[in-house]
Structure 1
Amino acid sequence: MLAVLKKAGIPLIIVLIAIVVAAAMINMRQPPEKAEVEERAFLVNAIPVSSEDLQFVVKSQGTVQPKIQTVLSAQVSGRVTSVAEAFIEGGMFKKGDVLVQLEQADYNTDLKTAQAELARAQAALEEERARGKVAEEEWRSVKGSVAPELGLRKPQLAKELASVRAAEAQLERAQRNLERTTIRAPYDGLVRSKDIDLGQFVTVGKQLGVIYNTDVAEVRMPLSDNDLAYLQLPGTDGQSSPVELTATVAGKVVQWQGMLARDEGILDEQRRVIYAVAEVKDPYQRADNAQGVALKFGRFVQARISGNRGDDMIVLPRHVLRLDGTVLVVGEDRKLEIRDVVVQRADENSVYISAGLRSGEQVITSAVPNPYNGMALRLPGDEQDPAVEKDVEESKDTAIAKTERDA
């Protein structure tokens, strides 16, 4: 019995001793030391901002086209007897130059016939006037009273007068038809296409070619409703916005100056844009004092339209503006501020801020993950954080030790 008690009591004693020892160790345990966690200042890049008065620029593009283009057609029929050297694709001509000459023989004959008919009608008219005077004198001497209209041959006189007028009209038509055998240039321009040649017979209405006026070129540019808000479209006051056109010609960037002439007044149903038209004077530099590069029809150009003015605007890079319409600002004591701003306009490169920022403030341009108000910041010119310096030194020591091991 005693042996059994000994066997059962030994484990119980061991458990009691373990509990006593554990309690003593718990009482002797020292509380952990509290270490203050230093918040590292986040390194950012920032730019100082300043307000300025500026002029908005609207960008677009388009193809250069002539303001006036004409399809030359024959008003009379005939054989082509001569074609001007300039009447060829790309040929330049002046206003009044003869481009095509049709055969004139038949029209000269018609002109002479009309002249003869007019002379005959005029002679008949003079004869009838003389007969009327004789009839009036005879009536007075015989009857002694006022002669009637028929007695004075006035109806016959009116008939001959109408014949003269008809002959004059026939003569004018013959002269016009003769003049129409000579096709002259209606303006200074160039030949777009040529559809006839020497010896060819043309009929009335036959297309001879297509010509372009080189006095004024047009560029048709698509604009959105947002773009229109910053433009001064031509109106009754006569004011217009200048347009700068740019293209690469023979490997060089060339610019031309134009003016915004009008808008087409109709919204494109498919693209939801409205087209504005810019005009460029003397695109082919044909004036005597012209020295620039020709702006040829069909060339694709980029356009910069000078728009309305903006006062006290702050211009920032586009990426600085966050999706929620805020920007990050370096506040006092290098603390981050999330600032709401009013965006007046935005394009692919810049945003124009009209309110929410003050001149002299620094706006953060680098990426900041999970920003919050009061976040500690550090600029490249500031003294480096001691904790960061320690990490840098440890990194240097690790790199040196690794180099020695590799050696």
Structure 2
Amino acid sequence: MAKQKLKIILPVVILLIAVLLMIVLMKGRQPAEQREDVAVGVLVDVISAQPEELIYRISSQGTVRPRLMTSLVSEVNGRIIEVSPNFVEGGFFAAGELLVKVEQDDYLTAVKAAEANLARATAALQEELARVRVAEEEWASFTEGEAPELGLRRPQLARELANVRSAEAELERAARDLSRTELRAPYAGLLQSKTVNIGQFISRGTVLGSIFGTDLAEVRLPLTDHDLAFMLLPGGEQSSYPLVELTALVAGQQQHWPGRLTRTEGVLDERSRVIYAVAQVDDPYRLQTDGKQPLRFGRFVHAAIEGSSSGQVIRLPRNLVRPGNQVLLVNTDSQLEFRPVQVQRTDERYAYVMEGLAAGEHLVVSALPNPLAGMQVRLGRVDGEWLDSPAVSDTEASGD
């Protein structure tokens, strides 16, 4: 009987103890701390707007060409008996150097024949002069009055004088043909191509080759009307054309050649609507300057033309200027702001802002997927330097 009562009372006691213990724990529990959610701005990198005075450099490009190009053409007939060692493609030669020599035997014979003909004509002229003197003396001795032309042998004298002049012309022609058997370089240059060689028979008008002058090289540079607005061309106070720096990648290294604009072509290209300016480079093959990289004909080069100077402008990476000439900056309240600006000029790398920005304002350079005006942000790097700020994750630092 006692065991049955214990089985009934014991569970009830345990249940009461558990209820009391739960009430005690609930009364001793501290309420959970309430925290307000604080919005953390996106971390962005910025650069500071810095006004500066600039000298614009107009970019263009073109191919290097020789200023002088000549086709060598034979003026006589004959067989080639001698060629210069420099008469090879790419060979350099000096002004007046013998390049090709044609067999001269026939032309030497022609000169001798012309000399003999001149001697005969001269002798005949002397004989006729003697007859004229005799005729004048006889007429003066036997007849009074003015002597007729025929009586004084004036027509015969004129004929012999004409024969002498004709013989002199023939001698000059023969001597000229003889000199043309030696083809000499009209100026210092290089042989671009050749079409004949020693032993070959050529006729008058045969093209022997093509030569380029090496004193000056030219580059035609296309320019737009907008480019011309920032260039200093002769006129008014400006008396000379601007300087040009040509660059090209040669054997993996960037090479530079100084030059100067010499003229602009007076007609716009009908298809591209650009005008061409011509730059010249002295001694492009550096034949008088040892140890420098030559500027070879046919090379494609980039040109930086010295332009006009500007006042206080702000130079920005071109990608920072958004459609509508707007830039994204961080205002004094650490919020994003879209600001319209006035762009004076752009090139392949930069945009040059005249108005709309103040010195020291922060322009966003981080890539933000969906920037909105008024979005709260934090400054990360300013002009490439980190600000003193709490450590953030790589994801926040990138602005993602």
- Alignment TM-score, normalising by the size of structure 2: 0.80
- 1:180 equivalent in structure 2: 180
SS at match of 2:366: coil
Deviations 1:75-125 (A, max 9, x none): 000111111111011111111111100011110111111111112222222
Alignment-derived partner of residue 3 in structure 1:
none
Mapped pair 1:268 → 2:306: no
Partner of 1:351: 351
Q: Does 1:99 align with 2:99?
A: yes
Contact 1:64–1:300 under 8 Å retained in 2: yes
Unmatched 5+ stretches in structure 2:
1-34, 381-386, 394-400
Q: What is the TM-score with the length of structure 1 in the denominator?
A: 0.79
Query: Runs (4+) of structure 1 moved beyond 4 Å?
Result: 35-42, 233-238, 374-377
| Contact kept? 2:336, 2:371, Cα under 8 Å | no
Residue 218 of structure 1 is matched in structure 2 by 218
- For structure 1, the residue ranges without an aligned partner over 5 or more in a row are 1-34, 393-407
- 1:134 counterpart residue number: 134
Q: Distance in 1 between matches of 2:62 and 2:299?
A: 8
**Which of 354-363 and 136-145 deviates more?**
354-363
Which of 83-92 and 132-141 deviates more? 132-141
Q: CA deviation at 1:367?
A: 4.3
How many angstroms does 1:227 deviate by?
Answer: 2.5
| Residues 277-299 of structure 1: per-residue CA shift (max 9 Å, x gap) | 22111111111x43311111122
2:245 aligned residue: 244
CA contact (8 A) 1:73 1:209 kept: yes
- The aligned amino acid for 1:170 is E
- Inter-partner Cα distance in structure 1 for 2:166 and 2:261: 51
- For 1:99 and 1:234, locate their aligned partners in 2 and report how far apart those are by CA, in whole Å: 41
* CA displacement at 1:38 relative to structure 2: 6.1
The answer to whether residue 349 in structure 2 is matched with residue 320 in structure 1 is no
Task: Give the conservation status (yes or no) of the 8 Å contact 1:86–1:92.
Answer: yes
8 Å Cα contact 1:83/1:101 also seen in 2: yes
Shift of 1:135: 1.3
- 2:152 counterpart residue number: 152
2:256 alignment partner AA: Q
Equivalent residues in 2 for 1:29-108, closer than 5 Å: 40-108=40-108
TM-superposition CA deviations, 1:173-231 (whole Å, max 9, x none) = 11100000000011111111111111111000001111111111122233333323323
CA contact (8 A) 2:51 2:312 kept: yes
8 Å CA contact retained: 2:48, 2:361: yes
Percent identity for Structure 1 against Structure 2? 50
Larger helix proportion of the pair: 1
* 2:334–2:376 contact (8 Å) kept in structure 1: yes
- DSSP-derived class of the 1:45 partner: strand
Quote the residue 1:231 is aligned against: 231
Aligned partners of 1:192, 1:361: CA distance in 2, in Å? Answer: 58
Task: Give the Å deviation of 1:354.
Answer: 1.3
Q: Secondary structure at the match of 1:253?
A: strand
**Which of 48-57 and 68-77 deviates more?**
48-57
Q: Distance in 1 between matches of 2:364 and 2:223?
A: 33
Number of aligned residue pairs: 352
Q: Alpha carbon RMSD of aligned pairs, Å?
A: 2.6
